Structure 1
Amino acid sequence: MAQTTQTPTRTPGDGPVRTPRVHRAWSVAAVTFVTITGAAAFASLPGLLIEPLHAEFDWSRGTIGLAVSVNLALYGLTAPFAAALMDRFGIRRVVAVALAVIAAGSLLTVGMTAAWQLVLYWGVLVGLGSGSMALAFAATVTHRWFTARRGLVTGVLTAAGASGQLVFLPLLSWLVEHHGWRPAAVTTGLAALAVVPLVLLLLRDHPADVGLAPYGGEYADKPAPVTGAARRTVAVLLKAARTGPFWLLAGSFAICGASTNGLVKTHFVPAAHDHGMPVTAAAGLLAVIGVFDVAGTVASGWFTDRFPARRLLAVYYALRGISLFFLPVLLAPSVHPPMLFFIVFYGLDWVATVPPTIALCREHFGADSAIVFGWVLASHQVGAAVVAFTAGLARDAFGAYDVVWYASGALCAVAALMALVIGGTRTETVLPAGA
């Protein structure tokens, strides 16, 4: 990912100009990638908890789905405020506190005895902590540190969550299968804590902190801290909500969340287990999704630098919807080639929607794009929360998930149409296809 650059640098206070061989922005992006990867352990666990918690506490799948739903909703609703808090207090402070809150919520679940504690610890604490970083974190870092290659970097940082899933999901599923769910919860908490020193020591809030210009851009002094973070966040929402592109982006991204985090990430493992597939095998398939998610998201970032973002979104949503219609007939006690094809296909498309969505936010909302994307991300997580809960209710009511797969496929077709009607012309430089 590192590249040479001739971007001039200067120390704060107009010191001597330096020309680094490798721009510091790439190391900041690397630290951000590792941070999101380490924090992603918590996102790998909910789908593995449904059956063990149901067996131990006799909680319904709808009740467990409620805790996951609260987690996803708070993740989304916290994101836009987190972007503003990063403007006020700095990226390092916000991310370090968020990681600590995630760790606390995960570790406290070990001693829970009632369903409300699951909602509080996993739903509220982990939801608030995760919402303070993740994609809002990636969008803020990309906006501050990069002028060129934003699409590529956005794709790489978005893929970090999938990398965390790849790293942790096989381990967590093995722990749940052989030692129970509590050691898995402890592992996610410790993983989040382990990243805190890395953030405090290596992450920097702004290029001007180290006398640099953004990668591919001109030097600018670090702006003063922005006060009134909550007020600014709401004001940006009210301004954006008066535009059609905001509602189209928010609506399509809500469907994105419903068909990924809310449905497949939360309910694929128990759905596969319903058909006789071992939990470890189903979790392994989710990990494979993570492998191809990385490739798909990075490729999507590359495409976003070169092709109209709204057309990319329409293609991604249409292909995702088609694949969901086939899933009910693919679930079986063992893994077979058609299922592997679905896993590879779905993995490539999983969060490929993020780079073009961020690009469209940047195109339409300029300097407020990180906060606007936070609100769009909120809709993503609200969509995920609704489906995480209703899919559990559907399983309790019908004894199967089939109706949820079909409904989500139809919603993806709607999202493809919404993406096509997002207006506007790209204002950023679009590289030629051969660049």
Structure 2
Amino acid sequence: MSTLTQTTDETVSFHDRFFQDDIALTQRNRHAPPREEAESASPPSIAPAETSETQSSNRHAAIITVASFTVVFTCCGINFAFGIFQAVFETLSQQPDTPFTGASPAEIDLIGTMSISLMTIGAPFVVAWAKRFSPSSISLIGSIIFSASLILASFGKALWHFEVTQGVLLGLGTCMSYMVAVTIAPTWFTARRGLALGIITSGTGIGGLVWAPALKAAIDSMGYRNALRLAGGIAFGLNVAASYAMEWEPATKARIQMENGARTSRMDGILKVPIVDWRVARTRKFVAQALGAVFQSAVYYLPLFFFATYARTLGYSDTAGANFIALSNACNAIGKIAIGYAADHLGRLNALVITTIISAIATVSFWLPSTISGDLATSQGLFITFTVLYGIFASAYVALFPASLVELFGIQNFSSVNGVLYMVRGLASLVGTPVGGVLIRSHSTGSPSRSYEGMTLLTTVLLFAASFSVMWVRIEAMIGADGRLVKKWKL
């Protein structure tokens, strides 16, 4: 086999080698039946010991789900509610003697952008540390950094203080807790993986639904500084409790322990990231999935960060703007759970394609027209419709993305692929979100809402690019072991 591979590498072109790796990966993943099929093919009679072990595994899976949801609810919920702070800081930027005096929306947005981006940029390192030490210890450290960053931000005297604390440190703390949750959770599930990840990642929506109005109320009653301190204290209790429950699935844990046993010291490899197998990384399906991740994440957070400020251009109050964030997050939670459940029955890749396309259509059909419509009532109606549809369908990508990686690359490659592609998503957010913020003032003539036209155009173009990339992934997944296209519906 090695001789044949060597000969092929020497004689075929790069495109052919690219194609051969796709076939080899497909063959390797298909030699072993999926875990759910193996379970269904097992004999009906189960020994009492096996039943007890299954029940214990189910209990652990339920605990992992609750703990992971709690981390996502707290860390992502507060990050996704940054639009509340964006609106407050923009108001302060027009007043004298504040940390934000004279700052542009793009400069203020950089706080939230850095936090959201670093949440996934450090993914490969966090995955490596969780394997080298333990998921609970890494998540616990992240919980401490997360809360400390919010409390430190409350003492900020200049814009850069907030960029360092509420931006960089908050992002690092989020990454260490969030990436542990979304990396270990998929290994505990098989047939209901889509539903489980839908429930876990719905914490972003439910968290935003809860944190957005709560932070707005806290800011109104005690000021933004005390609101930051209160959020840091509550987050500490929730995240620390959830961190103690984080644990690898037994089979995965045994494999990790074997890997760690080959290391020369406990500190060996802590700065090394899990590199994706080159045979996987050079396949067309990996490239397509990476492109989709780049395009989608580059603009995914733009509406979430600017819901409140855009709502003000349509005549809504600050409280109504906070309600738009809450509405989007409510739809976010509903969409992730409902679509995650449907994905387990219709196919996770199918659901990924459909939801990505609908999110792009919603942007071009509702948000973009709302910026250029001359009628205020029409613009408001279009924006409300966009808020609901985008919340339901765009957010589903976050839940279906890790589930689809298991389907495409196998459980044995999941950790490394997941870490690298999440890092790619973070880097794309770090570039795309500030660019969108800069576009706000590039077209300020006419009605105030028109100043957001450039942002909506950028969002539309990249979401359609993400849709084409995801469709490419779907086509690549249908290529059989012989290199021919096999028509399959449920993927």
Provide the TM-score with structure 2 as the length reference. 0.75
Match of 2:217 among 149, 174, 178: 174
Q: Tell me the residue number matched to 1:38.
A: 74
Sort the Cα spacing of 1:8 and 1:379 in 2 relative to 1 into closer, same or farther, 3 A: farther
Q: Tell me, what secondary structure is at the counterpart of 2:396?
A: coil
The 4+ residue runs of structure 1 with deviation greater than 6 A are: 6-11, 219-222
Secondary structure in 1 matching 2:276: helix
Alignment of 1:413 onto 2:464: yes
One-letter identity of the residue aligned with 1:405: T
User: Aligned-pair distance for 1:136?
Assistant: 5.0
Which whole-Å CA distance do the structure 2 matches of 1:148 and 1:406 have between them?
A: 39
> What is the CA distance between 1:368 and its match in structure 2?
2.3
Is 1:257 matched with 2:297? yes
CA contact (8 A) 2:83 2:306 kept: yes
Give 1:346 shift. Answer: 1.5
Deviation at 1:335, TM superposition (A): 9.6
Shift in alpha-carbon separation, 1:339–1:69, aligned structure 2, 3 A = closer
Deviation at 1:8, TM superposition (A): 7.3
Q: Does the 8 A contact of 2:197 with 2:400 survive in 1? A: no
Contact 1:254 1:379 in 2 (8 A): yes
Bigger drift between 332-341 and 125-134 goes to: 332-341
1:285-304 aligned at under 5 Å gives the runs 285-304=324-343
Mark the structure with the bigger radius of gyration: 2
Percent of paired sites with the same residue: 21
Within 5 Å, give how 1:386-401 maps onto structure 2.
386-399=431-444, 400-401=451-452
**Cα shift readout 1:169-219 (whole Å, capped 9, x = no counterpart):** 111122334443213322321232012441355x041354xxxx89xxxx9
Question: How far apart, in 2, do the equivalents of 1:340 and 1:311 lie?
Answer: 27
Contact 1:7 1:19 in 2 (8 A): no
Deviation, 1:29, is: 1.1
Deviates more, 1:225-234 or 1:184-193: 225-234
- Equivalent positions of 1:248-287 (< 5 A) are 248-261=288-301, 263-287=302-326
**How far 1:102 sits from its partner (Å)?**
0.9
Q: Which moves more between the two structures, 388-397 or 314-323? A: 388-397
Moved more, 131-140 or 111-120: 131-140
1:24 is matched with: 60
Q: Following TM superposition, by how much is the alpha carbon of 1:347 offset from its aligned partner in structure 2, in angstroms?
A: 1.5
1:270-419 equivalences under 5 Å are 270-325=309-364, 326-330=366-370, 337-366=381-410, 367-399=412-444, 400-419=451-470
Matched, 1:424 2:424: no
CA contact (8 A) 1:155 1:300 kept: yes
Mean Cα deviation higher: 24-33 or 328-337? 328-337
Residue deviations 1:296-355, cap 9 Å, x none? 111222233233433322222221112112214447589955443322211211321134
Unaligned runs of 5+ in 1: 1-5
Q: Which amino acid aligns with 1:75?
A: M
CA separation of 1:424 and 1:136: change in aligned 2, threshold 3 A: farther
Alignment RMSD (CA, Å): 3.2
In structure 2, the CA distance between the partners of 1:274 and 1:7, relative to structure 1 (3 Å rule), is farther
Higher mean C-alpha displacement, 48-57 vs 263-272 = 48-57
Give the whole-Å Cα distance in 1 for the aligned partners of 2:318 and 2:278.
Answer: 45
Does the Cα contact within 8 Å between 1:68 and 1:385 map onto a contact in 2? no
Contact 2:154 2:229 in 1 (8 A): yes
Question: Could you tell me how far 1:284 is from its partner in structure 2?
Answer: 0.9
Q: Per the alignment, in what secondary structure is the counterpart of residue 55 of structure 2?
A: coil
Instruction: Please say if residues 297 and 426 of structure 2, whose CA atoms lie closer than 8 Å, have aligned partners that are also in contact.
Output: yes
Q: Contact 2:308/2:322 (CA < 8 Å) preserved in 1?
A: yes
Provide TM-score, normalisation by structure 1.
0.84
Q: 2:170 aligns with which of 93, 105, 126?
A: 126
State the alpha-carbon separation in 2 of the partners of residues 73 and 255 from structure 1. Answer: 14
Give, in whole Å, the separation in 1 of the partners of 2:279 and 2:226: 46
1:189 matched to 2:232? The reply is yes
The unaligned stretches of length 5 or more in structure 2 are 1-44, 93-97, 445-450, 481-488
Counterpart-to-counterpart distance in 1, 2:148 and 2:183 = 25
